[in-house]
Amino acid sequence: MKQNSSTAFSALFFVSALLASVMVLIGRSSAQSLTETKEVVFRIQVVEGCALGVGATDPTSLGLIDFGQVSDLSNPIDATGGAGAGGVVVTCTPGTAFTMAIDAGLNGPSTVDRKLLNADIGQTLDYQLYWDAGRTTVWGDTPGQSAVADGSEQVFPVHARLVTSVTLPAPGIYTDRVLVTVTF
């Protein structure tokens, strides 16, 4: 069978093109691979913020302020809470102004009339929380105590005082829980 020259040329061209493509693919090694590089941009916007009780072993509690064991309330009994022991621990972005408020607790009608309760017998003892070591400024919930963050963990001690009583209380355990709120 006789092929015309046009068909033979087309077949030869196709085979030549196919061989050239295969040679290019075979001839390129991994050392000759092409690369392209683009950058990825990362971004974060830091806004004012605060965290209360950072690093606490119990994330729901700032700890316990314990007045200890007493049998006489003729004189006030003082206790102070620090980091992990009832103090207010706050970490905020630098320069953030914030306030810390402590509510009346579960048993008291107001922040100026806090009560420890013996749940077994329903008896209460009066106590108070203060901002200062001299126990002159009651730590309340309006407006609370103000501070400006320096960016590090800041510890604000809570100074507590069990108020004197002429009547001796019944033996037992007296407790209260207060909520600390940080507003920024």
Q: DSSP string covering the chain, please?
A: -PPPHHHHHHHHHHHHHHHHHHHHHHH--GGG-----------------EEESTT-SSTT----------S--SS-EEEEE-TTTT-EEEEE-TT-EEEEEE--TTT-SBTTBEEEEETTTTEEEEEEEESSTTS-SB--SSS-EEEE--SSEEEE-EEEEEPP-SSPPPSS--B----EEEE-
- Output the 3-class SS for 106-149: CCCCECCEEEEEECCCCEEEEEEEECCCCCCCECCCCCCEEEEC
What residue type is 168 in one-letter code?
L
Question: What pLDDT is stored for residue 173 in this prediction?
Answer: 94
Q: How far apart are CA 6 and CA 182, in angstroms?
A: 89
- Structure-block tokens of residue 28: 């390129």
Query: Residue for token digits 């800041």?
Result: 154
Output the pLDDT for position 144.
Answer: 83
Tens-binned pLDDT, residue by residue, of the chain (184 aa): 555 555 555 555 555 555 555 555 555 555 678 999 989 988 888 888 898 886 556 667 778 888 999 888 889 999 998 766 778 889 999 999 999 999 999 999 999 999 999 999 999 999 999 999 999 999 998 878 999 999 998 989 999 999 988 788 899 999 999 999 999 9
Q: Is the pTM value of this prediction over 0.75?
A: no
Say what the pLDDT of residue 46 is.
83
Enumerate domains of the chain plus CATH numbers.
62-183 (2.60.40.1090)
